[in-house]
Structure 1
Amino acid sequence: MKQILSLAFVALLAACQTAPVDTPIADSPIPVPQAESAPDAPQPIPGQQWLYGSAEASVAMRQAWAGIAGFVEAKAASGPSHGVVLAPGSMPEQPSFLACEGKPLAAVFDADETLIWNLGSMGYFTRAGIGFDPGIWDDWERTGAGKAVPVPGALAGLDRIRAAGVTVIVNTNRAAVNAAGSVDTLREAGIGDFTHGETLFLQGDAPDGSGKDGRRAMIAGNYCVVALVGDQLGDIADPFNDKSLSVAERRALTEAPSVAGLWGNGWFVLPNPVYGPSIRGGFDDVFPPETHWEPTPQAEAEVIN
């Protein structure tokens, strides 16, 4: 949650969403204007509109959660021999996983934009016209209970996972000093009751800062982790967040044959177009040069005229 779109980028996206379109086309990639608001009314950026407001996002989340629950149920019934947390020192290119050795089963989840949507804080940032502010976020962690909502499908999915005898564990980059507030927030959102250091792991519980591998190792010491779920690749394994990786290299790492079969099969990533390491890349990263195209002169002339 600590990385949010810069204010300049937010402004750019907001400007894009209000650009006039003469002839809306079904399924067009061009933003279509919505009902007009007062000129000074705060406007959510397109990523927020999609994630927090759209029927499409609700369907995508419910589909994903149904798949997660079904996978965990099947694993619980089959008695897995290995978990899905990378063993210490293991890398995605050559992964190895710890044996379960009779440990109880667990599924490990990120919190923000995985179990809960932080509508209270995100709405405040938008109303105030500011980007991410660490002081305000710290206050949100402590006092936001009741203003976050469960991600669509999460409650039903968690019910199925718990009914299968699998422990639900949260591993989030919320601060350990704000543990009580995060416990309250998860409870008020209906996610459940969690105990810091047992079923709730926070930044500060291990010495690797915002990295989660240390905390995952702590969890895997007591549980056979059959599923890792988050909205960022760092919720799966820290090497995916190596800052030296280019956009293309990071994507290629997820497609390596050694781990490609784990996505949807123990490793699950939920969509988040609002913030995080995925919101990066220059023009040629997003639109590779080999895909560049120009309309015919006649078509271009018609648009100009």
Structure 2
Amino acid sequence: MTKTHLTLSALAAIACLLCQTSTFAADATVAQNDNLNAVLWHQTSVEFQATTIGAYMLGKLRLDQALTDKNWTALPDQKTGYQDLPPAVVLDVDDTVLNTTAYEAWNVAAGTSFSPKSWTDYVKAKKDVAIPGAVDFTQYAASKGVKVFYVTNRVSEEKPATIEEMKAMGFPFDDKVETFLAKKEQPDWTSAKSTRFAHIAKNYRVVLMFGDNFGDFTDKFNGTLAERQKEFEADAAHWGHDWIALANPMYGSFESAPFNSNYKLSPDEQRAEKIKALTPWSGQ
């Protein structure tokens, strides 16, 4: 796909989202929502499009480098015996390859929040669009003989609709190899993804990983802000090299870190802990 085609496809995807959200009537009585600006940025800004296209363009460059270096692996646990395995890339799904902001925007406009039922209903409605750059990158990888795996915390019930939607967008799949690995498909396939990474690593050299959340790269994503920072710094050699992160200010493990994932706290108490985590200017 040419750069011109990539830009046009990105614009078409955003235009599609804008068409979906235009049905929300302006209503001064809509409750305040902490996620409004994040969803607005993710769904409407050119800056968002620029960051994702840039991330996937970097991915192409890194992929070409990885294919010339048999010692290149993105998995810290893939230490020996992997050099002659066929190459693979691993991508998260939600807000890494599929833009789910229609669901987030619905929550903002309706004054609701995430629930498993509404999320599954949304997935089955197939209202996602492709993240700009994602289809182009995955097709590029497949054209190089690289196996493309999607490791997602969507569950089995949501898998058929997701695959149908992704195939219609042009994401590559393999009829002979299961490349869409959903949560709980195996007893040890929890929301932490390392067991699924290990499953892939048995037969493939994983050269690149993409995600929008720390947990898309490592199981050490939970913890305090200080613990997460320490782990981030320990993984410094991976960022931008074989781990490529996309920005997502709407949700993720970053959000619960200030209150140490204590969801027994009320929303107001959670917000208070988030404010405490900020480092404000003194005003002078």
Superposition TM-score tier, normalisation by shorter sequence: 0.7 to 0.9
Contact 2:183 2:190 in 1 (8 A): yes
Report the CA distance shift for 1:127/1:104 in structure 2 as closer, same or farther (over 3 A).
Answer: same
Secondary structure class of the residue paired with 1:260: coil
2:173 pairs, out of 174, 193, 199, with 193
Q: Distance in 2 between matches of 1:122 and 1:171?
A: 21
Q: Distance in 2 between matches of 1:269 and 1:157?
A: 14
Q: Deviations over 1:121-150 (max 9, x none)?
A: 223323321010111112223x132x1111
Structure with the larger helix share: 2
CA RMSD of aligned residues (A): 2.4
Secondary structure class of the residue paired with 1:178: helix
Q: Distance in 2 between matches of 1:180 and 1:196?
A: 17
Q: Deviations over 1:36-71 (max 9, x none)?
A: 944246887000111111011111111111001110
Secondary structure class of the residue paired with 2:85: coil
Question: How far did residue 292 of structure 1 move?
Answer: 5.0
Question: How far did residue 277 of structure 1 move?
Answer: 0.7
Amino acid at match of 1:83: T
Q: Deviations over 1:177-224 (max 9, x none)?
A: 332122112123332335697111010133142111111100111110
How much identity, in percent, do the aligned residues show? 24
The reply on whether 1:181 has 2:161 as its aligned counterpart is yes
Q: Distance in 2 between matches of 1:126 and 1:234?
A: 25
Unaligned runs of 5+ residues in structure 2 are 1-24, 259-273
Report the CA distance shift for 1:149/1:194 in structure 2 as closer, same or farther (over 3 A).
Answer: farther
Tell me what 2:239 maps to: 263
The reply on whether 1:124 has 2:114 as its aligned counterpart is no
1:233 pairs, out of 202, 208, 214, with 214
Q: Distance in 2 between matches of 1:163 and 1:278?
A: 35
Q: TM-score, with normalisation over the residues of structure 1?
A: 0.72
Question: How far did residue 261 of structure 1 move?
Answer: 1.4
Amino acid at match of 1:86: P
Correspondences of 1:1-305 after superposition (within 5 Å)? 37-40=26-29, 45-76=36-67, 78-87=68-77, 97-141=79-123, 143-145=124-126, 147-193=127-173, 198-206=178-186, 207-239=188-220, 241-242=221-222, 245-256=223-234, 259-280=235-256, 281=258, 282-287=274-279, 293-295=282-284
Contact 1:170 1:201 in 2 (8 A): yes
Larger Rg: 1
Question: How far did residue 105 of structure 1 move?
Answer: 0.4
Q: Distance in 2 between matches of 1:194 and 1:113?
A: 22
Q: Distance in 2 between matches of 1:198 and 1:167?
A: 10
Secondary structure class of the residue paired with 1:83: coil
Q: Distance in 2 between matches of 1:193 and 1:208?
A: 21
Count of residue pairs brought into register by the alignment: 241
Question: How far did residue 252 of structure 1 move?
Answer: 2.2
Q: Distance in 1 between matches of 2:111 and 2:175?
A: 35
